[in-house]
Structure 1
Amino acid sequence: MKGALEGVKVLDLTRVLAGPHCTMILADLGADVMKVEAPGGSDETRSWGPPFQNGVSAYYLCTNRNKRSITVNLKIEEGKDIIRTLAKDADVLIHNFKMGTMEKWLLDYNSLKKINPKLVYCSITGFGETGPLKFLPGYDYIIQGMSGLMSITGSEESGPMKIGVAMVDILTGLYAAIAIEAALYEREKSGEGQKIDMSLMDAAVSSLVNVASNYLISGDVPRRFGNDHPNIVPYSKFKARDGELIIAVGNNQQFASLCEAVGINEIALDERFLTNEARVHNKQELTKILEKQLQLKTVNEWIELFSQKNIPCGPIHTIDQVFDHPQVLAREMVVEVDHPEAGKVKLVGSPLKLSRTKPKVDRHPPIAGEHTSEILLQAGFSLKEISRLKENQII
């Protein structure tokens, strides 16, 4: 079965997380992704750890499957020429070098579109290619702080907190994949490629969604609510007899059902809690009432009861519980792949569920330069030329 992006050739000059996550999505969907690194491997995540499996970084493994690897020395002109040769036949080129680097190497969009007008060219930078900060490097943690995400994450007591994963990198990778696919679709009509300018800062600001809208409409600077919701109550984590669970009531009918389930029917008709607006104003008082009743049963007992009454709720799982969960396993969110160095490796599966062109894992995360000769042979290089390039440390 062919993938949805079968036949799309992607030249991937990215490293770390945002770019590699984008290209892994494209690769999972069937694109031929050629990961470009310096000889020996220059993606920093290859050395990030522990943990390692037989010397292979878990971080690197998480976002580089389904790709082929070619190593090229871009500090040498002949190395840049190899990229130009590959770009002639590529559908997509994506990089995350700092602003000005690709221009200095004459590998920028304006240079490459002369040899391939159909090329979709995507850059991922910290702050984008315009504005006063365009030359600054971008790191997820710093962008979480600058974008306001940290200011609304955590509680008043904890102070600003970063999100538990590099979410800005992940979001930027997702947005980049969407933009690339849109540009490829548009190219089918116009016959022309185009440039995509992706920014970690833009992606982070976009992710503020309703919090941003609350500020833009009211002018009130949002504060940290911890596990609470700024607009909806009760919508938080609550203490039961043996642990904590999440209750996410979104309307008055669900609130009435919750009150009935925990044995406080009269509360649903109390003017202090009759509407969501009233519940927001009286959140602390309502929370005390609910948690007193929730002490009567265990987390699992409440979840079973609430689920029967269509009250949105759920447990708070640890990561080991997540990957043992029958729902996660049924959705094939854990896959195994054989790696020539690491051995059998477990990876997170693709969340993209297409009925006819199902994403699949055909290739292990590649060893640096594993497919250099194969890629260059396909590009028209002779074995003699490839041997010379290796001897001269160009590949």
Structure 2
Amino acid sequence: MSSSPLSGIKVLELAQIMAGPTCGMMLADLGADVIKIEKLPHGDDSRVYTGASTKALPAPFVMLNRNKRGMAINLKLSAGQEIMQRMARSSDVFLENYRKGTMDKLGLSWDTLSELNPRLIYCSISGYGRTGPYADKGGFDLIAQAFAGLLSVTGEKNGQPVKPGNSVADINSGVLAVVGVLAALLHRANSGKGQYVETSLIESSLQQMYWFAAMYFQTGQSMGASGSAHPLAAPYQAFRTQDSWLVLGGANQANWERIADMLGHSEWKSDPRFATNAARKLHEDELAEAISAELQKDTTECWITRFDAAGIPAGPVHNVAEALNHPQTRARDMVIDVEHPVAGKGNALALPIKFSETPAVVKHPAPLLGENTREILREFGYQDGDITDLLRQGVVGDPQSLAV
């Protein structure tokens, strides 16, 4: 097997919870040596996101921190900052997602580290970006989504603001950070120079508003929520059937006409209310009511079989378990087996990118707090006696020193 795409790239991940760790996980899945730096004494805040779980190491942390090596450092101490600076001198990427000014206080700013290592790529994820009137504010997924208008276009018509179920801002900012890091690595390969790469939760949320922004720029009007319906095309939404729900995609005229024929209402194609997409959007509620009346005469499974045979885009509305266990999901290897010494055996979502020559591999599970502290310090030139002193002084931690 060929080496991974990012083999030989060393990443220092000084990030926690979701946005930064998403970026770090994807870089690690692509083969980078990602060293997760966690604060003392408790580490990444997501280590306590247990939900209903009683596992010592919670599923959210395990999900986002596989393929990383773990190190615990007290960065409030000058000795801890010196360790980070030494590591940055010979690393390729420095990733952080803290509030503006935090890295400056710790002696780990872009200006400081780039002077130590001109080839370093410094990737920063923040709440609002490092410039502008909100630059000093902290970032939270829900707040960023609300800022960007996502809550105003999610939910039912004329309903209260609704948050999308997933962490759009956190996840997308992590993905955008990966894109930025990869582009910067390519630039460095050609120029020999590192650079500062930045994205934020509000920018990653605003990016999700392409259609809504386009219509605002064209009309000057803000579109609102429309349930599961598409903001620009109809019918393109969820409908109740005899036993559950399905989604139906009539986003273009050809598919709409197939839907009308399939449902036994060819006259809809010439009905002035439904003949064109513009007319269907104007009469969207009437259209949805007419389609729902037909779909409730049979089950979701029966309708999808018929829609598939007619070449009409349709699908079931899965819950999480149904989506993760569907044969198509499994055929795409999107669910992988993992085994952790504390959390035990389980599953995780795989990297959603496939490579013919350099496939992603999960080499090891999420680290215990400080699991690899000793070996990493040795790699950066620290002698065993020095490491013992650092552990005794509380500058760094490992599982033994942090055991209660």
Secondary structure of the residue aligned to 1:74 is coil
**Alpha-carbon distance in 2 for matches of 1:299, 1:349:** 29
Query: Which residue number corresponds to residue 402 of structure 2?
Result: none
1:157 CA displacement: 4.7
Alignment correspondent of 2:320 = 319
Q: Give how far 1:268 is off.
A: 1.2
Q: What SS class does the counterpart of residue 208 from structure 1 fall into?
A: helix
Shift, 1:39, TM fit: 3.2
Distance 1:73 1:284 in 2: 58
Q: Which residue of 2 aligns with 1:177?
A: 178
Partner amino acid, structure 1, of 2:257? A
CA apart distance, 1:51: 3.4
| Contact 2:65-2:366 within 8 A present in 1 as well | yes
Matched ranges for 1:1-395 at <5 A? 1=1, 2-52=3-53, 54-395=55-396
Deviation readout 1:29-67 (Å, 9 max, x if unpaired): 000000001234420000112233531111111210000
TM-score, length-scaled by structure 2: 0.96
Partner Cα distance (2:235, 2:193) in 1? 51
Aligned positions, number: 395
Q: Which moved more, 1:366-375 or 1:330-339?
A: 330-339
What displacement does 1:349 show?
1.4
Q: CA deviation at 1:101?
A: 1.2
Give the secondary structure class of the aligned counterpart of 1:278: helix
Distance 1:207 1:227, change over 3 A: same
Q: Distance in 2 between matches of 1:205 and 1:106?
A: 32
Report deviation, 1:363.
Answer: 1.0
1:148-196 C-alpha deviation (Å, 9 max, x unpaired): 1101111135310111121110000000000000000110111000001
CA distance in 2, matches of 1:39, 1:289: 60
User: Offset at 1:17?
Assistant: 0.1
Counterpart of 2:229, as a letter, is D
CA-to-partner distance for each residue in 1:278-314, whole Å, 9 max, x for gaps?
A: 1111212222221222222211111000011111111
| C-alpha spacing 1:279/1:156, structure 2 compared with 1 (3 Å) | closer
Distance 2:392 2:218 in 1: 63
Identity of aligned residues (%): 37
Distance 2:41 2:338 in 1: 23
Task: Structure 2: give runs of 5+ residues left out of the alignment.
Answer: 397-404
Is the 1:51–1:57 contact (alpha carbons within 8 Å) kept by the matching residues of 2?
no
* Superposition deviation, residue 206 in structure 1: 1.4
Q: Name the Cα RMSD after superposition.
A: 1.1
What is the CA distance between 1:147 and its match in structure 2? Answer: 1.3
Secondary structure at the counterpart of residue 293 of structure 2 = helix
Shift of 1:271: 2.6
Runs of 4+ in structure 1 over 6 Å off = none
- Structure 1 unaligned segments of length 5 or more: list them: none
Task: Note the alpha carbon deviations across 1:88-116, whole angstroms, 9 max, x for none.
Answer: 11000011121011112221111111110
